[in-house]
Structure 1
Amino acid sequence: MASTAFWLAVCSVAAMNSLVFLCSQKVVADFDSLQDALGFLPKELYPVLFKAAFMDKRTLSLQLLVNTWPFPVLSFQKLLRKCQHCERALIREKPNKYCIQMVISGVVTYLIKLLENRRGSKSKGPQQRLQILDMTGLQDEGQGPESMSLWSRTVTLAKACLDISKQQGKWTRRTSKRRKSPYSKPPGPPALPPVSVDVWVDLFVNSTSYGVLKDALQINSYNALRLRCRDFRAEELSIASTVGLLEFLDPVGVRQVDLRFNNLGLSGLRVVLPHLTKFTNLASLKLPYSNVDVRRLTVGMEGSLQYFANQLSRLRCLKELNLGSSRLSGKLRLLLGDLQSPLESLELAFCYLLPNDLAYLSQSLHTPALKKLDLSGNNLSDCLLQPFQGLLMEAAPTLLHLDIMECRMMDTHLNVLLPAICRCSRLRYLGVFGNPISAKGLKNLLHKTVGLLDLKLVIYPYPVDCYGDDLPWPPTSSNLLNGNVDEEKFFRVSNELQQMLLSANRADVTWTTNLCRHNSLDFFSL
Structure 2
Amino acid sequence: MRGVRVKRGAMSRPAVAMHSLVFLCAQKVVSHYTTLQDALDFIPKELYPVLFKAAFLDKRTPSLQQLVETWPFPVLSFQKLLRKCQHCEYALIREKPNKLCIQAIILGVVTYLTKLLEERHSSKRYRAFHFPSKGKGDKGQRLKVLDMTGLQDEGQGPESMSLWSRTVTLAKACLDISKQQSKYMRRTSKRRKGPYSTTLTLPIPHPVWVDVWVDLFVNSTSYGVLKDALQVNSINALRLRCRDFRAEELSIASTVGLLEFLDPVGVRQVDLRFNNLGLSGLRVVLPHLAKFTNLASLKLPYSNIDVRRLTVGMEGSLQYFANQLSRLKCLKELNLGSSRLSGKLRQLLGDLHSPLESLELAFCYLLPSDFAYLSQSHHTPALKKLDLSGNNLSDVLLHPFLGLLTESASTLLHLDIMECRLLDTQLNALLPVLSRLSRLRYLGVFGNPFSAVGLKNLLHRTLGLPDLRLVIYPYPVDCYGEDLPWPPTSSNLLNGAVDEEKFSRISNELQQMLLSGNRTDVVWTTNLCRHNSLDYFSL
Report the TM range for the smaller structure's normalisation.
over 0.9
Among candidates 262, 280, 298, match of residue 311 of structure 2: 298
1:88-107 matches, cutoff 5 A: 88-107=90-109
**Alpha-carbon deviation of 1:9?**
4.2
**Equivalent residue number for residue 188 of structure 1:** none
List 4+ stretches of structure 1 deviating above 3 A. Answer: 7-10, 12-15, 177-185
**Equivalent residue number for residue 390 of structure 1:** 403
Contact 1:358–1:388 under 8 Å retained in 2: yes
**Equivalent residue number for residue 4 of structure 1:** none
**Equivalent residue number for residue 134 of structure 2:** none
Q: CA RMSD in A?
A: 1.6
1:3-152 matches, cutoff 5 A: 9=7, 16-119=18-121, 120=123, 121-124=126-129, 125-152=138-165
* 1:342 and 2:323 are equivalent in the alignment: no
Separation in 1, partners of 2:6, 2:113: 46
In structure 2, what residue type is equivalent to 1:85?
H
Normalising by structure 1, report the TM-score. Answer: 0.96
**For residues 74-111 of structure 1, what are the alpha-carbon distances to aligned partners after superposition, in whole Å with 9 as ceiling and x for unaligned?**
00000000000000000000000100000000000000
**Alpha-carbon deviation of 1:192?**
9.2
Separation in 2, partners of 1:467, 1:116: 69
**Equivalent residue number for residue 135 of structure 2:** none
Gaps of 5+ in 2: 9-13, 130-137
Among candidates 450, 458, 483, match of residue 437 of structure 1: 450
Contact 1:329–1:353 under 8 Å retained in 2: yes
How many residues in Structure 1 have an aligned counterpart in Structure 2? 514
SS in 2 for 1:254: coil
**Equivalent residue number for residue 450 of structure 1:** 463
Among candidates 159, 184, 192, match of residue 179 of structure 1: 192
Separation in 2, partners of 1:305, 1:15: 55
Identity of aligned residues (%): 83
Separation in 1, partners of 2:7, 2:232: 52
In structure 1, what residue type is equivalent to 2:74?
P
Structure 1 pair 480–366 and aligned structure 2 pair: CA distance change class (3 A):
same
**Alpha-carbon deviation of 1:142?**
2.0
Separation in 1, partners of 2:139, 2:182: 22
Gaps of 5+ in 1: 1-6, 186-190
Among candidates 252, 266, 282, match of residue 279 of structure 2: 266
Among candidates 381, 389, 393, match of residue 394 of structure 2: 381
Separation in 2, partners of 1:24, 1:132: 24
Separation in 2, partners of 1:173, 1:130: 25
Separation in 1, partners of 2:457, 2:402: 18
SS in 1 for 2:245: strand
**For residues 335-384 of structure 1, what are the alpha-carbon distances to aligned partners after superposition, in whole Å with 9 as ceiling and x for unaligned?**
00000000000000000000000010000000000000000000000110
1:171-250 matches, cutoff 5 A: 171-180=184-193, 194-250=207-263
Contact 2:147–2:212 under 8 Å retained in 1: yes
**Alpha-carbon deviation of 1:193?**
6.6
Contact 2:342–2:364 under 8 Å retained in 1: yes
Normalising by structure 2, report the TM-score. Answer: 0.93
Separation in 2, partners of 1:219, 1:208: 20
SS in 1 for 2:155: coil
**Equivalent residue number for residue 176 of structure 2:** 163
Separation in 2, partners of 1:184, 1:444: 89
**Alpha-carbon deviation of 1:453?**
1.2
Among candidates 420, 437, 440, match of residue 407 of structure 1: 420
**For residues 438-478 of structure 1, what are the alpha-carbon distances to aligned partners after superposition, in whole Å with 9 as ceiling and x for unaligned?**
11110111111111111111100000111011111111100
**For residues 49-87 of structure 1, what are the alpha-carbon distances to aligned partners after superposition, in whole Å with 9 as ceiling and x for unaligned?**
000000000000001101110000000000000000000
Contact 1:117–1:126 under 8 Å retained in 2: no
Structure 1 pair 257–333 and aligned structure 2 pair: CA distance change class (3 A):
same
Contact 2:155–2:530 under 8 Å retained in 1: no
